Structure 1
């Protein structure tokens, strides 16, 4: 009887399992869920292979809801993918031409401002696709002819790529927006009604394009081409000899001219790459519109044309001006945006939020211009408010913001130039015979200055859920001509889009974010602890290592070294000679380990940390062998 009952129970369980499976499959079928769409998204995820998408794109993208839990995925009412929007995520990879053929219900695709390689995708099966934006990438090859089959195409943006070939003869009556500028396209622009409806700006930056709406006519033979002489073939031998000598002299002359031109071109390229190119990039931010700034739109609100430079000063929008704030107010009359554009600019490098340029203004202080990107979609008033909050943070160890510039397409931050570089270069720079040793007293001074700055930020934080700094690392700590510590790039966590912050900012690499997807002031404390361990060990932390550099999980490595009692091996070789200051180094090591505790609630507050670091200075620096 027991065997019969047990067998009956097993059969019941199997029956219920099969019933639930059938019901689940039926529910999926009714929602329109497509397994092939999910597989296509998984293939995209594998192509890009960034931690944010790897963690976020799990489960089913569209199921029983029009709101997807997958970042950048838009769902339709039928459970199918209706849109893919992955903008400014730093995506790098070669996307296959047929990557989107399974998304037959998709109406919008935007991959702008990434680093996507390969040829333009095939959209011949995406007949509901109305909006395409793949601008500001690294795509090559021709514009896909598949766009000709998109009967309801409304916008096509492919500018700022490496596309070549001719423009397809688009003639959809639905096409309202087009931009193919800054590519390598050539040939006459098709004379279809749809393509001729757009201005020359939609085609600019393609030197090979001709015909209307551009001002470059097609089929013009360059002037000045030498033509052959069809004179008497039976001329005298003296004349032939004279002609031959003359031709030889001409040939030598032209060769000399050619050599001079090559040398001049080479020197010009060197000058352009070092000085003029950064200046040209800065000038792009002040493209003047042909329409007046205060022209009213149909709904009665004042609008600003795309490419027109504006900033808000005293509540009034002014064209092409810097907004000076904080400590920069007194310097407002010293220089303006025009002075920046006239000055020579030198590229300093590319940070996680954009490029930086050192600008030399005649008779004025040198400044650094940061061209920032990947921000939240903030309107002018919101951007002004956030920057004013940053500018109100004033401390001797914080690098003050002098001014900013804001327009629809460009955001610039202006800081004073700090001459002695950053802590990363000082700490991890070349260690040859010419290196100046980074002494214990100097490293302790850095630890103290950063602790003071971070304590001030924590005491004056404007939001409890956002770390006051969020991106503390050695490259964001500057040293002025007196080796005074100046912490930079604070407050950006309130400006940057969440996916970008999660991918690039140091606080988001803390243990708690990996577990709970939450950050706080304690995340800043963790980054400070990582910085202390870098100062003491001379090793680069894995959480702050730049691309191409292999860092070390310093928190785990130091804890293991202390546990196994080989603490003496921890310290940088440059510190090993400071035997008298050993107790101070050990105390700073203890503070760093406490700050790096995996549990946020066990970490000390920044006020306590700053006081402890100050006590090291009081008790130890007097006997420091430096």
Structure 2
């Protein structure tokens, strides 16, 4: 009897050992069903045809090369998932990484994945996390603080919100949360305070070191909550201070309201005068005398910059018939047809800084002194207390905005070919490089308002850049509202512009030139624009690049390489971080290096081929762009 029980006991132990050995063999042979199920669930969220065909069977076997694309394995366990630049679109569940306990590297960068970030408490061995260039939203999960081996965390260029957790892992070497919607004070941990400013830019509601923005008491959460309740004297003092602050604010509000009412009355009178002037213009056949009102006692003289050129008097200008050219950002423009001499353009300046006569003269002379074949300097100026004018030659072929977008779909439309567009890109780059070389200050944008409507074409279609230097004349609030450089990412985040802001504006203009689409930051009031930088980046990422180029140039297949190269240059100019943008001199060299390949068939028939989904174009564009980024 005893021997029978003993035999049964040995049998149970043997069965348990066999089961344990079989389980261990399954683990070493790569049959981790839980890991495989987790990866398959992750794949289902992406709905990607490539992964659907590739992620089948066993993901990895022992230390052999993994069978699944983007998967890394050691001893049959998944240690890395790297799916970069694949155009993945979908939403990841918070528990998407459960069962991947050996995971050390995770990379989904440069896709279009959305939703909240995953829960990382299941992955204690994670060292490197690359999730930049997606559309993740929500808050940064606190579970990241529990990753004691974390070396790199890249979360830039997403839509993350909320505050930054107090990362302080000694292993953390790389950290970037730039260009999100994060807010609040950056934690005072040793690790985060050692990170450079570039890792936090593009989050305009962040404050505290290393950003230059100081935190107010409302967003500084470094003190423990309700700490003042322990001190009754402090509480009563705080109440008194609050009352004083409220009284002061009330006084300021009353003063502001009075000034606002006075300003409103003045603006109403001014608008009334302007309406009356426009009515008089229509009644009197648009004579310049009605377009530029000035009393006899206040009339000065026209001052010409070129002492040897053709001159005329103010009276001649006022007698000339006038044609309204439109309302610009800084004043109305008129074409004046003089009785003797060529037509001129008169720009009435408004919203200027409170400048004295000497200051105004100094600034306009600085503008006129810039001499370059692709710049359009003023001919003359007029200064009085109530009226400031700049006079220019008349450019007979209009501006670049109308050349790109005008008369689309009509018989009157003159095709705008690749060679002409490249010539325009070069002319603008030459003018900007000259301005950047002759203006030494790094704290202003030498042009400040680079856009297609500020590029003129003369009777020979020569490129003439105008409206440069006005940034020194215009009041800052008006400039920030209307000038293109102030729409740049660095001004939106840190209220700063520089030469690199001009480079950004030039990149946006190149994309407008290549795509034939209107840029949102430089569109006229009556037009609906598009964020071209984001749109082109998305097109390249999702590989529908055949839709990028304007149909008028997409049909010129011999020019494909040049168009792609110019787009690469434009995208480098449009980098969100100013430090990553090239200098204008480097931009010019690269634009000048683009060769014009002449194909007679392409040149003769630009409207012929609407099938612009040419394989070579759609295939070469993303690969060339990616190769350029790697260089």
TM-score (norm 2): 0.56
Pairing partner for 1:419 from 391, 396, 421: 396
Q: Does the Cα contact within 8 Å between 2:287 and 2:320 map onto a contact in 1?
A: no
Post-superposition shift, 1:466? 1.2
Pairing partner for 2:252 from 80, 84, 94: 80
Distance 1:541 1:28, change over 3 A: same
Post-superposition shift, 1:579? 0.5
Distance 1:387 1:19, change over 3 A: same
Q: Does the Cα contact within 8 Å between 1:397 and 1:450 map onto a contact in 2?
A: yes
Q: Following superposition of structure 1 onto structure 2, how do residues 208-607 of structure 1 map, counting pairs within 5 Å?
A: 272-273=281-282, 276-277=285-286, 279-285=288-294, 287-289=295-297, 308-309=298-299, 320-325=300-305, 328-331=306-309, 334-431=311-408, 432-607=410-585
Q: Following superposition of structure 1 onto structure 2, how do residues 172-211 of structure 1 map, counting pairs within 5 Å?
A: none
How large is the RMSD of aligned CA atoms in angstroms?
2.7
Distance, in Å, in 1 between the alignment partners of 2:416 and 2:225 is 75
Distance, in Å, in 1 between the alignment partners of 2:588 and 2:274 is 53
Deviation string for 1:500-533 (max 9, x for gaps)?
0000000000000001000000000000000000
Distance 1:322 1:422, change over 3 A: same
Post-superposition shift, 1:11? 11
Distance 1:605 1:34, change over 3 A: same
Post-superposition shift, 1:405? 0.3
Q: Does the Cα contact within 8 Å between 1:278 and 1:347 map onto a contact in 2?
A: no
Q: Does the Cα contact within 8 Å between 2:454 and 2:466 map onto a contact in 1?
A: yes
Q: Does the Cα contact within 8 Å between 1:530 and 1:555 map onto a contact in 2?
A: yes
Partner-residue secondary structure (3-state), 1:137? helix
Post-superposition shift, 1:430? 1.9
Match of 1:23 in 2: 237
Q: Does the Cα contact within 8 Å between 1:422 and 1:478 map onto a contact in 2?
A: yes
Distance 1:424 1:14, change over 3 A: same
Q: Does the Cα contact within 8 Å between 2:558 and 2:598 map onto a contact in 1?
A: no
Match of 2:610 in 1: none
Q: Does the Cα contact within 8 Å between 2:421 and 2:513 map onto a contact in 1?
A: yes
Partner-residue secondary structure (3-state), 2:308? helix
Deviation string for 1:167-205 (max 9, x for gaps)?
xxxxxxxxxxxxxxx699xxxxxxxxxxxxxxxxxxxx9
Q: Gaps (5+ residues) in structure 2?
A: 1-223, 604-631
Distance 1:321 1:578, change over 3 A: same
Q: Does the Cα contact within 8 Å between 2:444 and 2:498 map onto a contact in 1?
A: yes
Match of 2:34 in 1: none
Distance, in Å, in 1 between the alignment partners of 2:373 and 2:556 is 29
Q: Gaps (5+ residues) in structure 1?
A: 1-9, 38-78, 85-99, 101-105, 112-120, 122-131, 139-158, 163-181, 185-204, 207-268, 290-307, 310-319
Partner-residue secondary structure (3-state), 2:296? coil
Post-superposition shift, 1:28? 2.7
Q: Does the Cα contact within 8 Å between 2:379 and 2:393 map onto a contact in 1?
A: yes
Post-superposition shift, 1:381? 0.6
Q: Does the Cα contact within 8 Å between 1:530 and 1:541 map onto a contact in 2?
A: yes
Q: Does the Cα contact within 8 Å between 1:439 and 1:574 map onto a contact in 2?
A: yes
Distance, in Å, in 1 between the alignment partners of 2:254 and 2:323 is 44
Distance, in Å, in 1 between the alignment partners of 2:543 and 2:432 is 32
Q: Does the Cα contact within 8 Å between 2:281 and 2:291 map onto a contact in 1?
A: no
Match of 2:152 in 1: none
Distance 1:21 1:409, change over 3 A: farther
Q: Does the Cα contact within 8 Å between 2:519 and 2:529 map onto a contact in 1?
A: yes
Distance, in Å, in 1 between the alignment partners of 2:265 and 2:301 is 28
Q: Does the Cα contact within 8 Å between 2:287 and 2:319 map onto a contact in 1?
A: no
Distance, in Å, in 1 between the alignment partners of 2:499 and 2:226 is 54
Number of equivalences: 378
